[in-house]
Structure 1
Amino acid sequence: MKDNVKIAKALSDPIRYKIMLMLAKSEAGCCPIPGRENSRPGLCNCELMTELGIIQSRVSYHMKELVEAGLVTEEPRGKWKMYFINTKTLRQFIEQLNQDFALK
């Protein structure tokens, strides 16, 4: 299990929270990246930049935080990176929160 405090900190930033929502709701993206056909839903840097209205370096910073927290996985595709939500880590985090804070 990843560090719960690190995960909570990563999710506490409004931009990263929005990125997580975008990844959770992602379907087939519009980015023409080679090898993307028939792949799992995710988003590339350019889609995040466009939707969030921020420059590539800021997207990279936020994605680095999410990847280090274990909430997102990344996969290089040409000059871009594809990002995917890590549902296993997210579910474990939610389960741990429920165990730690659930009223019995």
Structure 2
Amino acid sequence: MMDNVKISKALSDPIRYKILLMMLNADQCKLSDCYCSSDEGICNCDIMSALGLIQSRVSYHMKELVEAGLVLEKARGKWKYYALNQPIIKEYIQQLEVDFKL
């Protein structure tokens, strides 16, 4: 079940918003610092490198995004990979259009 308030709260943080945009454009990443991305999504280390954050801050932000349902998480060994949960994002946008009569 989608929680619009939880999603809105997760989106309100500029770092989390940047992370989502980074995930959206991960397939276009040609930077040398994007060394851990895979078909499964982007890795913590990619986010740390791109945004200059320490691992604990990335983990905190990713926990918020996962709990809001905006991001899917897959563990692979010691790494975690993250991908956008596009159906939830689309549903959230549609619900906003209904709620605000757009």
| TM-score, reference length from structure 2 | 0.88
SS at match of 1:95: helix
| TM-score, reference length from structure 1 | 0.87
Q: CA deviation at 1:78?
A: 1.3
Detail structure 1 runs of 4+ shifted over 2 Å in the superposition. none
SS at match of 1:21: helix
Aligned residue number for residue 13 of structure 1: 13
Aligned residue number for residue 90 of structure 1: 89
- Unpaired runs of 5+ residues, structure 1, are none
Aligned residue number for residue 54 of structure 1: 53
Q: CA deviation at 1:2?
A: 1.1
Residues 5-47 of structure 1, C-alpha deviations (whole Å, 9 max, x = no match):
0000000000000000001111175217xxx4xx34x210000
Aligned residue number for residue 31 of structure 1: 36
Between the two proteins, the alignment pairs up a number of residues equal to 97
Aligned residue number for residue 43 of structure 2: 44
Percent sequence identity over matched residues?
A: 61
Once the two structures are overlaid, the 10-residue window that deviates more, 23-32 or 13-22, is 23-32
Aligned residue number for residue 3 of structure 2: 3
Q: CA deviation at 1:88?
A: 0.5
Superposed CA RMSD: 1.5
Q: CA deviation at 1:102?
A: 2.3
SS at match of 2:97: helix
